[in-house]
Amino acid sequence: MKFVSVLMLFGLLLCQAWADTNQYDFIIQETPYTRLCSTKNILTVNGQFPGPTIYARKGDTVIVNVQNQGDYNITLHWHGLRQPRNPWSDGPEYITQCPIQPGTNFTYNLLFSEEEGTIWWHAHSDWDRATVHGAIIIHPQENSSFPFPTPYKEIPIILGEWWKSNVSQILADALRTGGAPNSSDAFTINGQPGDLYPCSSSSTFTAQVEYNQTYLLRIINAAVNNEIFFAIAGHPLTVVGTDASYTKPYSTDFIMITPGQTFDALLLTNATNGSLFYIAASSYGSATAVRYDTTTTTAILQYNNSTETPILPALPKFNDTASATEFVAGLRSLASDVDVPQAVDERMTIAVSVNLLTCDPGKTCGGANGDRFAASLNNLSFVPPTTDILEAYYKNISLVYGTGFPADPPAKFNYTGDNLPGYLLFPRRATEVRVVEYNTSLEIVFQGTNVLAAENHPMHIHGYSFYVVGRGFGNFDEEKDPLSYNLVDPPIENTVGVPKSGWAAIRFRATNPGVWFIHCHVDAHTSWGMDTVIIVKNGEGSNEGMLPPPSYMPPC
């Protein structure tokens, strides 16, 4: 009798697990799309731009079968998904896998754990993510609820960036000449540039809303190279989450969102006067002397089928660092008892720089001073290997990477000083990783520098979310700055905007073994080498080691 009931219980659990296992088929293909008066083929998933939304509940497992029917090598990444012990499905090309080559398939296993809220998926090969991306919406577990009254409806807002010409060509040209990639021709909201661009007004995204309801906006910055200011005319927003982690409700007239980040925000539809309201976004471009796309994308918030002329919100100016800073300073995690490491086993300082590489003799390159643009972390400009680092680590294949990524900048200098010496411009090219023991309590201070050009860099870590315990301008002061850390309720993020000419300090405990990419989420900077990798070793316990690889990984 007892035996039978145990079996039944097991059966129920299996059923439960099965019911929570969702499967998606993603077909990568070239699809014609018309924007800004011209038609071109773009790479899509299932013909959609943005791509399909993945829905999950906290703790689910989701399987995504990818068939590459396009002409390019591609990989997909599940941005902000911790993937406990499972770097095999993380996705960055030549870091955790070799690409899915045209005409082949690969299956990703998405392991959801602590995340609840909004994250997203995107291609992680070259700049394919410009059009190959979509939302991942993680609802509370069955029978649990949001930590705020259940919203009436949800509205996804995916911010993107559009080039009239072939994005692969933009990247290829930039890498060939060493110059800056052409800036985009438009921003998009849910794939549409909006009324302020030619030929776009008939296809502007419109959110139909009812009066006096609360909507949950799931805002994702999928733009390739731009941080973005976002606002809705006449409607303040209440931020309740970022990067799939809840925040204390925070009322604001606008948000600043870096590439890679997400915000969940509540919108109360309180307009009574019959207007139409623009939802609008434009660049926060913090570097001087860099050409940004300064256009504004719009969507429409419409009540009662109103057809008035829409009202534009007041967005901060593209170079308004003060507004960007003020917004970010207000973010706090919801719980005040979050598990922030109070002590640190290991501290790293990572200097984040835009650099130059010497042009080949006798040639003139497209970067500053006739040299090539480059970028670095701790003066190392990352060179992607041709075999993926995860495989090399797992199988002990030598000469793929080194373990010499330094815990500190190789030479201290006045990182945010003016008129820095010229030798700082030229980094060393290498494929170096940092090896970290399991369960290390790690602090990383990302120190922005004024080498070549200072700007805000959105630093992203795969396989982890982290506590953003401090941010500031100027050089990080090891004595003074930790005194003002927030070790009580810092926001939990997977991408942190390191202030222009400033620093950001993060903490996390290294309990997710694997090979995890760390990089600036501005793709131009990623391509220039503003990247590195941490390898977190296995722990001793039975649940502290990397999962075995799946039976099939794409070959190099």
Ligand X SMILES: *[C@@H]1O[C@H](CO)[C@@H](O)[C@H](O)[C@H]1NC(C)=O
**Radius of gyration from C-alpha coordinates of the chain:** 23
Phi–psi pair at 430, nearest 5 degrees:
-165, 165
239 binds, among Cu ion, ligand X, none (CB under 5 to 8 A by kind): none
Sheet holding 255-257, edge to edge: 206-209, 296-303, 277-284, 227-232, 255-257
Q: Which is nearer to Cu ion, 89 or 449 (CB)?
A: 449
**Encoded tokens for 506:** 């993060």
For residue 142, state whether it binds ligand X (rule: CB under 6 A).
yes
Site for Cu ion in 513-542 (CB under 5 A): 520, 522, 525
420, 458 in Cβ contact below 8 A?
no
Task: Give residue number: closest CB to ligand X.
Answer: 417
Q: What is the DSSP string of 99-155?
A: -B-TT-EEEEEEE--S--EEEEEEE-STTGGGTSEEEEEEEPPTT---SSPPPSEEE
491/241 Cα distance (integer angstroms): 9
Q: Where are the beta strands (DSSP E) in 385-487?
A: 428-430, 433-436, 441-448, 457-461, 466-473
Q: Which is nearer to ligand X, 324 or 461 (CB)?
A: 324
Half-sphere exposure of 513 (CA within 13 A, CB side): 17
Q: Which residue among 36, 63, 311, 453 contacts ligand X (CB under 6 A)?
A: 311
For residue 457, state whether it binds Cu ion (rule: CB under 5 A).
yes
Site for ligand X in 177-216 (CB under 6 A): 182, 211-212
350, 377 in Cβ contact below 8 A?
yes
Residue 203's Cβ-count burial label (10 Å; 0-12, 13-18, 19+) is middle
315, 232 in Cβ contact below 8 A?
no
Q: How far is the CB of 284 from Cu ion (least distance, A)?
A: 13
Q: Which residue among 62, 130, 271, 496 contacts ligand X (CB under 6 A)?
A: 271
Q: Which residue among 22, 61, 104, 439 contacts ligand X (CB under 6 A)?
A: 104
Q: Identify the CA nearest to 276 among candidates 317, 326, 313, 331.
A: 313
520 binds, among ligand X, Cu ion, none (CB under 5 to 8 A by kind): Cu ion
Q: Which residue among 109, 306, 358, 511 contacts ligand X (CB under 6 A)?
A: 306
Q: Which is nearer to ligand X, 15 or 199 (CB)?
A: 15
Q: Which is nearer to ligand X, 105 or 486 (CB)?
A: 105
Q: Which is nearer to ligand X, 143 or 396 (CB)?
A: 143
Q: Which residue among 76, 135, 137, 170 contacts ligand X (CB under 6 A)?
A: 170
For residue 220, state whether it binds ligand X (rule: CB under 6 A).
no
Binding part of the chain for ligand X, among 241-249, 265-273, 356-364, 377-385 by CB under 6 A, reads 265-273
Q: Which residue among 5, 39, 202, 305 contacts ligand X (CB under 6 A)?
A: 305
Q: Which is nearer to ligand X, 191 or 554 (CB)?
A: 554
375/398 Cα distance (integer angstroms): 26
Q: Which is nearer to ligand X, 274 or 404 (CB)?
A: 274
35/200 Cα distance (integer angstroms): 7
Q: How far is the CB of 340 from ligand X (least distance, A)?
A: 30
Given the rule CB under 5 A, which residues bind Cu ion? 457, 520, 522, 525
Given the rule CB under 6 A, which residues bind ligand X? 41, 67, 73, 98-99, 101, 103-105, 142-143, 165-166, 168-170, 172-173, 182, 211-212, 234-236, 270-275, 303-306, 311, 319, 414, 417-418, 556
